[in-house]
Amino acid sequence: MMAIEFKQLKSSDMFIMFKIINKIGLNEIKNQLEPKTIEKLVDGFKGKGKAKDNESLIYSVGLSVTIEMANVIIGNLPKCEDEIYTLLSRVSGKSKKEISELDMVTFTEYIVEFVKKDEFKDFTKVALKLFN
């Protein structure tokens, strides 16, 4: 794997990140975490006898929520393709065309490395305060 270096995130990058978050379906994900939705899942697992104890119930509900969240993200990801190319272009110094032509493994590595950036983690923590 080649070393991937990104520029420091700037305030102007925040706006494109908000576009990505919006298009990825944050509200749909939030709906999966609503108490009523969780209660339905719990009742469903209890009623079908699939959860024999609290630990297996927690595991089953958690897995169901995780799968549904992944489904929302994967389903909405194509909606923000251009924004992802733009963001990675801005922080990598490569053109959008270069980013869009990366092979799948390298492109995935770019996304993973970007998400692992301390600034991205800090941004996420601060942005989540909007929902409290």
**Interatomic CA distance for residues 61 and 66, integer angstroms:** 9
How far is it, in rounded angstroms, from Cα 10 to Cα 64? 36
* pLDDT attached to residue 16: 93
Tell me: pLDDT of 127 over 80: no
**What pLDDT does residue 52 have?**
67
Residues 49-80: tens digit of each pLDDT: 666 677 777 887 788 888 888 888 899 999 99
Global pTM reads 0.72
Q: Which of 2, 5, 3 is nearest to 94 (CA)?
A: 5
pLDDT of residue 92: 94
Rounded-to-integer distance, Cα 13 and Cα 38, Å: 34
What is the pLDDT at residue 58? 80
User: How does the average pLDDT of the chain come out, rounded?
Assistant: 85
Distances (CA, A) of 100 to 4, 17, 83, 84, 118: 16, 18, 11, 9, 24
Q: In this predicted structure, what is the pLDDT of residue 79?
A: 95
The 3-state DSSP class for residue 27 equals: helix
Using pLDDT thresholds of 50, 70 and 90, give the confidence band for residue 44: confident
The pLDDT, as a whole number, for residue 97 is: 97
- One-letter amino acid for residue 132 of the chain: N
Q: Report the percent of the chain where pLDDT is more than 70.
A: 92
Q: What is the pLDDT of residue 42?
A: 78
